[in-house]
Structure 1
Amino acid sequence: METHINLRDVRAFCAVIDQGSITAASKALGETKGSVSRRIARLESQLGIALIQRVGGRAQATQEGLSYRKRATEALEILDTAQAELSDKDVIPQGHLRITAAQGLANNLHLGACLGRFMHAYPKVSLEVIMTGDQLSFREEQIDFAFRLAAGQLPDSGHKAILLTSVSLGFAASPEYLKEQGIPQHPDELAQHRLLLPRVFGDGLTVNMQPCSKPQQAQSFELTGHMLCQDTRFLAEAALSGAGITLMPPKVQEPHIKAGNLVRVLGDWESAQQGNLYLVYPARPLSPKAEVFKEFVRAEFQDQKW
């Protein structure tokens, strides 16, 4: 006999996994706990498998449940998008989004404030933010959006990406370090110093720099980091302690320079390249909640210079 799956049962299952409990899911769905429990039980009975297990007081998907959730979420996204496109009335974005960014990148961009403003504008959309330096799989981890920084173009991954802003970089060090180790006058001399570099660009970094007086004469310099970290604020703290010369965005170093705790290095040179900040997302039709998130973030960064 053909089994007809109730889409509301599927949505209830996804909500329980997203929210972590039947109680939280029932509030998000506007249903009673009993109603959500019955939906899960009916879906499990129709599929003939256990979808949810309780671990440490939280509802988690079983291995079969994880596999089902991946496909179910994709199907629901497609159905939601199709319904929105056919509807003549405005659709209120709602649902859950999973976002990932490196901890340091999120701090430097004040991403918490940005996402807070988004939630104020779209109160029916809930967010889950995963802080990690790893590039999580969009499919395996059910990621909707990723903030990623790259030196130049992103490598082709089959995903979509929009350039949010460019991040300029500059060298700085503490007065104590420069007094002890000397002040480099040319980028070639950086090889003789301890360098504190952003890990986001890899173990080493090739920088293109040009004299301010001769902006068309850029040169490439290979740098090796003595300290590598994804969080440039962490690197700033290390530089303040006299650990070495750091490379970071002006917005991070400027307060320390004004206070006299850091000194700009190689001020007669300027970077001929910038780090590019991208918002990356899967190459599939976007749901209303994902579409408004993409456009909101694009607008937030449109006029900002980092």
Structure 2
Amino acid sequence: MENFNAIPVFVAVAQQGGFSAAARELNISKSAVSKRITQLEQQLGVRLIHRTTRKLSLTEAGERYYEYSLQATRAAQQAEDAVGELQGEPRGLLRINAPMSFGRLHIAPLIAEFLQRYPLIQMDLVLDDNTLNIIEQGFDLAIRATRLPDSTLIARKLAPLRSVICAAPEYPFRTALTSPACLADENCLLYSYSDDASHWEFMPQPETGEAALHVKVSGNYRVNNSEALLEAILAGAGIGRLPSFAAAEYIRQGKLIRLFPEYSMPVKTMYAVYPERHYMPAKVRAFLEFASEKLGKDTPHWDAGLFRC
């Protein structure tokens, strides 16, 4: 068991892909990380990590040691969770991952109130539009715009995620937009992380009896961030499909025109996802309840008045 204290260091190096990144993650020096890994390899009598000038990679022995090290760290986490459940007030470091735009617009503004309500919690909020592995990256909870297929994660619904088609009043329309099909002739700006970026679906109101429309669109700008897309649309560069959480306020101010409000678009769901555990840490439960209180509505505050219920 003399190597037990080295396990978190080794796991951090394996997950972060380098000594420097692991040192930042653990809040210790790079030299301390390197020294601990060297000592671990000497004590085990085997090389765990291939070191090159460009990157680090695990050896076969390192892969096997990493597999069991993860089990050890998860067991230690479960032990902490079990004790934490008995604590009267939520406490400890809470690591949350959220999409960049939604996190900045609707999670970050809530943090001050949350920390005032739970002063013994420390928050580490990471905003990233890439889908990170929350278990390997050590997150307690993540906000996701879709349910993840990983069966080891539990998903809790927070709010519906609706989309709208928008343009600035200054945008020079090429045609009279009599139907969503006309968008095929317009300059449509695309969100590149969407799995249907260039195929937009429009669903008429049920009472019309009309079939859904599928329109293939194209344009001269594609970007992987909703706020960057919003900026281009506000500047009149083109027509775009935006999440209502980003566009709603600009529609109310008249800075954006919502096109085809008589049609709806496919609705996704914003989830809070977290690893399955025998004991839910009090800090995680506190944030779930807080987020549900602030965001968990069939009609979240940003959608008020924009959609038919």
TM-score between the two structures when normalised by the length of structure 1: 0.68
Cα distance in 2 between the residues matched to 1:23 and 1:156: 29
Cα distance in 1 between the residues matched to 2:10 and 2:148: 35
Give 2:144's aligned residue.
148
Q: 1:51 to 1:93 in 2, by over 3 A?
A: farther
Alignment partner of 2:103 out of 95, 103, 106: 106
Structure 2: unaligned runs, 5 residues or longer:
14-18, 50-54, 303-309
SS of the aligned residue for 1:175 comes to: coil
Give 1:253's aligned residue.
247
Alignment partner of 2:91 out of 79, 90, 93: 93
Cα distance in 1 between the residues matched to 2:292 and 2:69: 28
Q: Is the 8 A contact 1:161 1:281 kept in 2?
A: yes
Q: Does 1:231 align with 2:225?
A: yes
Alignment partner of 1:187 out of 156, 180, 188: 180
Cα-to-partner distance string for 1:52-94 (whole Å, 9 max, x where unaligned): 9xxxxxxx99847897567545434434434654788416532
Give 1:29's aligned residue.
none
Q: Is the 8 A contact 1:208 1:219 kept in 2?
A: no
Structure 1: unaligned runs, 5 residues or longer:
27-33, 53-59
TM-score between the two structures when normalised by the length of structure 2: 0.67
SS of the aligned residue for 1:171 comes to: strand
Match for 2:97: what amino acid?
A: T
Q: 1:7 to 1:305 in 2, by over 3 A?
A: farther
SS of the aligned residue for 2:78 comes to: helix
Cα-to-partner distance string for 1:156-183 (whole Å, 9 max, x where unaligned): 33232222111222222122225x4244
Q: How does 1:38-187 map to 2 (within 5 A)?
A: 46-48=43-45, 63=58, 71-72=68-69, 74-82=71-79, 84-85=81-82, 89-90=86-87, 92-95=90-93, 97=95, 99-107=96-104, 109-120=105-116, 121=118, 123-127=120-124, 129=126, 131-133=128-130, 135-150=131-146, 154=147, 156-158=149-151, 159-178=153-172, 180-187=173-180
Match for 2:106: what amino acid?
A: H
Give the CA RMSD over aligned residues. 4.4
Identity value in percent: 24
Q: 1:176 to 1:40 in 2, by over 3 A?
A: closer
Match for 1:222: what amino acid?
A: H
Cα distance in 1 between the residues matched to 2:45 and 2:284: 32
Cα distance in 1 between the residues matched to 2:25 and 2:101: 34
Q: Is the 8 A contact 2:232 2:238 kept in 1?
A: yes
Q: Is the 8 A contact 1:173 1:239 kept in 2?
A: yes
Q: Is the 8 A contact 2:103 2:127 kept in 1?
A: no
Q: 1:88 to 1:171 in 2, by over 3 A?
A: closer
Match for 2:91: what amino acid?
A: P
